[in-house]
Copies of this chain bind each other. A is one copy, B any other.
Amino acid sequence: MADEAKKSNSNAKGGGKKKEVKKETGLGLSNKKDDNFGEWYSEVVVSSEMIEYYDISGCYILRPWAMSIWETMQTFFDAEIKKMKIKNCYFPLFVSPGVLQREKDHIEGFAPEVAWVTKSGSTDLDVHIAIRPTSETVMYPYYSKWIRGHRDLPLKLNQWCNVVRWEFSHPTPFIRSREFLWQEGHTAFATKDEADAEVLEILELYRRIYEEFLAIPVIKGKKSELEKFAGGLYTTSVEAFIPNTGRGIQGATSHCLGQNFAKMFEINFENEKGERQMVWQNSWAYSTRTIGVMVMVHGDDKGLVLPPKVASLQVIVVPVPYKDANTQAIFDACSATVNTLSEAGFRAEADFRDNYSPGWKYSHWEMKGVPLRIEIGPKDLANNQVRAVRRDNSAKVDIPMANLVEKVKDMLDDIHQSLFDAAKKKRDACVKVVKTWDEFMEALNQKKMILAPWCDEEEVEKDVKARTKGEMGAAKTLCSPFDQPELPEGTLCFASGKPAKKWTYWGRSY
């Protein structure tokens, strides 16, 4: 328990036998989600003990409360890609400038954000060395070396690592940081069909991370030419939406790189007929950004709300002793409850600290977003029951000890589903279908996620960006959803008036 209680407060320092009991009110957030979203977010990630701000701007400390969420997703994803026979490896953090600049479009996309090492100790380096912003150019010279014949394909590697993008605008914990953790998969195939299939298989894993673990609805789709990965053939993504800011957020991307990098890095193989061919490549990644999206979507004015699947603590048990009650019996019942739940595979702990009131503990664990709180007082003890309180909707249920495991399982499952449903309802309420420029601008001003018929021309997207430029940032395409509504013959593009080719989501974005 001790390291769950790092928040500085005068009571934790109190040394006397009789401690001053902290009032619940002292724990709350000073910002409200709907009033002041940006400040609310910064406050939640710090107060829930997920993040500590660091003395270098744009860098953040991931504390255990955040790291355990990352580890849970990592365990799932790593097992899934191993089933796909993708193997883990580790390539260096450093890239030499020559290699970094080999693919022109690619480096143009990343150059302004690259951090450069120019000194070691007090010695200037002869050649400056870049820190990887992503590893295409780090890895592919070696793919060229390792791939010779068709039997060397597919080559499917992944790495879990840190990358650095020295961004200057609006650093935000998890969402936009100068260093972040991610996985990056890099695969090479003999045929485009195999590459295409893998792009979607990985994208489905990303959907599952968001929907099955983080309880966040996402839209699968394809990025526009302007928004696709620099140097790639096409980019697919899962897109989430933050109703409070009216901004879309790219949740994870699965790129087909086509043969462009293969050409630049000379990644060739001899096929079964003895002909020299270029490989087809994919790369795909998701990052610690996922955790930020989760905070933004589910958090409330009491703090963090954790979906049960990723909560490092799913159930917190709080003893509620009364003056005349048998305190030891209550504590024993709490321990027994934790044991029963732990043995059944739940992540449960009891908060036995004697210098905090039950009310303070309720607020503390609500701030930290624990999905279910179990309270045990004299009455519960007498009735051989516990009181369970849901974090997401504050609903209270008395559970007979005999049904504990079964009921807790049901409640946690229900919390996941409720979080997902509530998020989906909110997200769906923000989706606005428009067909004209005026409707588009009105919806944009209302912070909507806009679904509009589009001619799919790069110049038109550039034009929309230019026309919507402003303090809030320009609107751009989020994705063209795979799940396309019907597009009646003769439908025109909302922006250009040309024949529309597809429905596309537009909006401001992170």
Contact = CB atoms under 8 A, between A and B. Distances in A.
B92 A54 contact: yes
A64 B153 contact: no
A5 interface: yes
Interface centre among A16, A149, A178 (most CB of B within 10 A): A149
Given A88-B67, A117-B115, A274 B15 contact: yes
A409 interface: no
Interface string A113-125: 1111111111000
A166 interface: yes
Contacts of A68: 87-88
A12 B59 contact: no
Interface in A240-282: 270-275
Interface string A76-108: 000000000001111111111001000000000
A152 interface: yes
Contacts of A141: 55
Interface string A137-161: 0000110011111011111110001
Contacts of A5: 151-152
B67 A148 contact: no
B162 A93 contact: yes
A113 B117 contact: no
Contact of A59 (B92, B115, B178, B275): B92
B87 A146 contact: no
Nearest to A166: B120
A145 B53 CA distance: 11
Nearest to A121: B112
Copies in the complex: 2
A403 B146 CA distance: 39
Contacts of A2: 151-155
Contacts of A166: 120-121
A6 interface: yes
B113 A116 contact: no
A344 interface: no
Given A68-B87, A87-B68, A271 B61 contact: no
Contact of A67 (B89, B114, B145, B149): B89
A425 interface: no
A149 B179 contact: no
A62 B91 CA distance: 6
B121 A118 contact: no
B87 A3 contact: yes
Contact of A179 (B94, B96, B274): B94
A324 B271 CA distance: 30
Nearest to A120: B166
13 contacts: A8-B146, A15-B272, A56-B129, A59-B94, A61-B91, A63-B89, A64-B87, A67-B90, A93-B162, A114-B121, A115-B117, A117-B118, A121-B166
Interface of A: 2-3, 5-6, 8-9, 12-16, 52, 54-56, 59-64, 67-68, 70-71, 87-96, 99, 111-122, 128-129, 131, 141-142, 145-149, 151-157, 161-162, 164, 166, 178-179, 181, 270-275, 353, 355
Given A6-B147, A8-B148, 8 more contacts: A2-B151, A9-B148, A12-B148, A12-B149, A12-B151, A64-B87, A115-B119, A117-B118
